[in-house]
Amino acid sequence: MFMNRLPIPSMSTQADFLTEKVEHIDVTSFNAVPLLDAMKKMSFQARNLARASEILDCMVSEKECAVILCLAGSMISAGLKKAIATLIETNMVDCIVSTGANMVDMDFFEALGFHHYIGDPKADDDVLKKHNIDRIYDTYISEHELRVCDAVVAEVADRCMPRPHSSRELMTALGAYLLEENKGQDSLLRLCYEKDVPIFVPSLSDCSAGFGLAFHQQSHPDAHVTHDSVRDFRELTMLVCDAASTGMVVLGGGVPKNFTADTVVCADILGKTANMHKYAVQITVADERDGALSGSTLKEAHSWGKIEEGAEQMVFSEATIALPLMASYVYHMGSWKTRMGKRLTASFERIVLHAPVRDSSGRKEAEKARKELRIV
């Protein structure tokens, strides 16, 4: 049955639009190995996806290789959280470099008990705005619920030492909060906290975390948390320097892709030794012809001294189609079964949250946002 445009109720409320939740695909429930083996003998993006899956399996099989997952775009809201969680749970991902939207607006948001909902790309956006619904193509999200997410970020920031932090520290703090509150058992932030998988968000202010930190700083003008993105760069570069080899798995492109690739150049600037990334696969719909980063080929990155030639593969496909197949392939190949987690966060000083303060500005703002949400 074809999905038609969703009708708008005549006397509608926000709840009338937020009815059917986006469900996260389980890549362990089907075996994509036979399909991708068949695709090896096809052409175009089918063959490219099959080769990319083989390269990812090589990364996983090489137990000393540090696998870095780069996330851009709206991967979590689109239903890929469980697929990514499977890669983390089975030690196939050692580090994440992400946009803030994926980690905070989407993963932390869902960990707080909220959801993304199936929507309509042809919806009347003026109607959605009047109902405080934000649209991500064909997905809806409540603006009221996002305000709670913003405020809880401020609440967590109030409990951190007032000093510059790397985004890795701040993502660790969010994971620690979820564990403390026993929220988000399926959250990537919580899972990575428990497995010591570092998460870097180099453009942290460009998301719900930015709103929360802005409120936190306004409330504490003399002593507050700041984001030190240069520290992000140094920390990630040191992890790359310490690794015997590295592999990049890029979903989308943008800042996470370039930030990770650039660590090899940064190491050279710092007088350190870092090998070029040995493996790299990218799933993107961006075009390489305009010279923009997201579509620039991994082969091109070799001219910059960032990625080795021979074990790199571009897949020009949308990630919600390609990643489930690739993740299912590596899961059912089973190379992860003898792979140990690297627990890279353990190489850094553990961040500790201060005890919650009842009258902290962030906590009061979070309580206010929750009360307003109940009224809606």
Which residues neighbour 177 within 8 Å (Cβ) at sequence distance 6 or greater?
152, 156, 159, 353
Specify whether the CB–CB gap between 94 and 341 falls below 8 A.
Answer: yes
Structure tokens at 85: 């969680």
Of the residues 81, 82, 257, 306, which is catalytic?
A: 306
- Of 162, 163, 231, whose CA–CA distance to 198 is shortest? 231
Which residues neighbour 218 within 8 Å (Cβ) at sequence distance 6 or greater?
none
Listed as own residue / partner, the contacts of 301-310 with beta carbons closer than 8 Å and 24 or more positions apart are: 301/261, 302/276, 304/261, 304/265, 305/264, 305/265, 305/268, 305/276, 306/261, 306/262, 306/264, 306/265, 306/276, 306/277, 307/248, 307/261, 307/276, 307/277, 307/280, 308/275, 308/276, 308/277, 308/278, 308/279
- Catalytic residue at 306? yes
Q: Which residues are catalytic?
A: 306
